[in-house]
Amino acid sequence: MSSLQRTRRGLWHDKLLRDVTSMAAAMAIVGLSLGAIAVTKGVPLWMITLMGLVIFAGGSEFMAVGLMTAGAAPLTAILGGLMLNARHFPFGLAVGDLVGRRWPARLLGSHLMVDESVAFALAQESPAEKRRAYWITGAVLYCTWAPSIFLGGLLGQQMGDPDALGLDAALPAALLALIMPSLREHATLRAVAVGALIAVVTTPVLPEGLPVMAALVGVAAALPLPNRREEAR
């Protein structure tokens, strides 16, 4: 390997670690929010921490806490989480070659498959870089998520109302920062705008957590628009 190649690889590795560390810091804030909100709503600390280890999906965990503490049946929370994470199916098709061929590696790699690990992996050029980015991102974020939830739960036991600190806005802020670069595409912008409008309109009438599921209808707005010339023909 030439010195130029080693230098480029070192710079790439440093940039990846810097970006992943920044993302982990943002995820830690979201985890603190989830832990604090969950315990103040009556969810046991051990349960919400275990959810972070086993589920490892922030959106689904927030929705599950919201639904179950609002009186919804556990089956509703499970079905809602499955629908919310249905995007992992195309994710798996996109990064299936990066998680290895043996079933232990595929099982672990699948558990680390979150939006950020997929996004960091697909942003790389070579297969080797994609694989390293996927595993580094997934491992760092996983090791950040559950401990931050546990710490947030401990803090939540000492505070009265976590909403007063703005912790309820941590997850939407993190997700907004994550999708901002994608909003340059018109199809994605249409889907986000329609989904946000549906969520806002349905929030006063639907139980907590369900407006997010209803907003998935906005994905239809990302479909290609019909060509007027072709319609005229």
pLDDT tens per residue, range 74-100? 777 788 778 777 777 888 888 888 887
Q: What is the spatial distance between Cα 139 and Cα 226, in angstroms, rounded to a whole number?
A: 42
Q: Which of 167, 160, 139 is nearest to 35 (CA)?
A: 167
At 135-188, the pLDDT tens digits run 999 999 999 999 999 999 998 877 655 555 555 565 566 566 656 766 777 888
Handedness of CA 34, 36, 37, 38 (dihedral sign): positive
Q: Pseudo-torsion of CA 154, 52, 145, 207, nearest 10°? A: -80
Give residue 230's identity as a one-letter amino acid code: E
Tell me the average pLDDT of the chain. Answer: 79
* φ, ψ (nearest 5 deg) of residue 178: -70, -40
| Mean pLDDT computed over 181-198 | 83
Q: How confident is the model at residue 58 (pLDDT cuts 50, 70, 90)?
A: confident
Selection from 11, 124, 127, 115 nearest residue 56 by Cα: 115
Residue 172 amino acid letter: P
C-alpha pair distances (Å), 130 with each of 94, 122, 123, 138, 143: 11, 6, 8, 12, 20
With 0.85 as the threshold, say if the pTM is over it: no
**What's the pLDDT score for residue 106?**
86
Domain-by-domain residue ranges, the chain?
3-167, 185-233
pLDDT for res 4: 45
